[in-house]
Structure 1
Amino acid sequence: MSANTTAAAVRLKKPSWKDPRLLLGLLLVLASVAGVVSLLGAADRTAEIYAAKEPIAVGEKVTAGNVNRVKVRLGDLESHYLTAESGLPEGLVALQRIGPDQLVPKESLGKADALNRKPVAITIDEALPEQAAAGSRVDAWVALPDARNGFSEPKLLLPGAEIAEVTPGSTTLGSSRSTVVLVLVTDEQMPKLLGAQANKARISVVWNPGGGTR
């Protein structure tokens, strides 16, 4: 048998299961299949997450009475939300407003002493735009009484304050219906607002579409 014939026979020899190249190829194929199956399984995984039944105001406790369990696919984002598996926390309140049907983010909860804003009622006589609802931002302008039985030029007191609640006020004989707006006020802003109210200042609330403070 010639040398060429011998070389061809070697090349056409049936591969052995002990061939390391064949084993390496099989391992790579199996690893790829396992990775795809794992990825598809994770993408299809649903988790029970708590969602608000109704608006949860700042400072309000999150309890079984104001949340529902909903099944959703969140993937890697699941750790950012309150899950039924972890259970409802005790002694925690909402640090931010949580809207109806909104999933409850963990970062929106904390101890009551971590609250840096408190709701204060402001009664106004003028009509508010529809956009000035709970969760939106408003600017509060204050005009203090002057010596001529009038009011001084309005000054911006609360820029970009968040509304916690809007409630129609009572109507008295000969007067128009007032509106009570609960706004969230920081401790630093509190003295000026309470002082203005104590001095019977005229307070006007203006919707702030930008939503930011100045």
Structure 2
Amino acid sequence: MSILRQRIRLDPRLLIGSVLVIASVLGVVWVVSAAKQTVPVYVAAVAIAQGDTISEQSLSLVEVPVAGSNELYLSPESLSDAAIITTRPIGAGEFIPLSALGAGDDASAPVVVAISGALPENVSTGVAVELWAAAPGERPGTYEPPVVLVQQAQVVRVLESQQLVNNGQVEVELRLPDADLAEVLTALTNGSRMHLVPVFQPVGE
């Protein structure tokens, strides 16, 4: 009888090894299963300037693997009917972080401005700029010294010219503070020459 009991006694090392193999297999199955699970989040379909209102036309929906960090980005669940604006520029193809979004307000408005001459190289969507204006002088063809109309405006987009002949101007859509709107519209009406100066210059090499 004692010999029979010794034969059926399990080796502890065999039991531990079996448990480790089973745990490893279950772990691999869980990782593969988790990798196949995705959630929808939004990316910017186009470059979005600071202060722009988020719309379906500016967004694309993509599927990404489930992860805790996905809760940091805009998703269909976090998108509401209320107006949402961006608090910083967002590049095309970039995930939309919730930290870069804010409640919409009426403190600014978009205005298309004809800029005299070529634009500085780094003026593009989302760039902060100063808007300068030189009013017409007393004699035809002359202009007064330029002054700053808006200390910080936001470039929404640079419009492509539809004219067959180059008139030396570039149309730029700017987002302006409401407090500066009347002065800018007055300058546009009286034929002032407009210029843009970037607020922040890139660091040179």
TM-score bucket (shorter structure): 0.5 to 0.7
How many pairs does the alignment contain? 166
Distance 1:88 1:70 in 2: 16
Structure 2 unaligned spans of 5+:
1-26
Is 1:196 aligned to residue 187 of structure 2? yes
Distance 1:142 1:64 in 2: 33
RMSD of aligned Cα (Å): 3.1
Cα distance per residue 1:108-134 (max 9 Å; x no partner):
44554x142211111123111331111
Superposition TM-score, scaled by structure 1 size: 0.63
Please list every run of at least 4 consecutive aligned residues from structure 1 whose deviation after the TM superposition is greater than 6 angstroms: none
Aligned to 2:119: 128
- % identical aligned pairs: 23
Distance 1:151 1:144 in 2: 6
Aligned to 1:162: 154
Higher relative contact order, structure no. (Cα contacts within 8 Å, ≥ 6 residues apart): 2
Is 1:62 aligned to residue 62 of structure 2? no
Superposition TM-score, scaled by structure 2 size: 0.65
Cα distance per residue 1:27-70 (max 9 Å; x no partner):
xxxxxxxxxx9xxx9xx997543212223454444327732224
Structure 1 unaligned spans of 5+:
1-36
Aligned to 2:91: 99
Q: Contact 1:59–1:115 (CA<8 Å) still a contact in 2?
A: no
**CA 1:49/1:126 → structure 2, altered by over 3 Å: closer, same or farther?**
same
SS at match of 1:131: coil
Aligned to 2:108: 117
Aligned to 1:49: 41
Moved more, 55-64 or 117-126: 55-64
**CA 1:170/1:83 → structure 2, altered by over 3 Å: closer, same or farther?**
closer
One-letter code aligned to 1:202: R
| Deviation of 1:164 (Å) | 0.3
| Deviation of 1:153 (Å) | 0.7
Cα distance per residue 1:159-201 (max 9 Å; x no partner):
232100101334365x535311111100111111111112211
Moved more, 91-100 or 176-185: 91-100
**CA 1:178/1:106 → structure 2, altered by over 3 Å: closer, same or farther?**
same
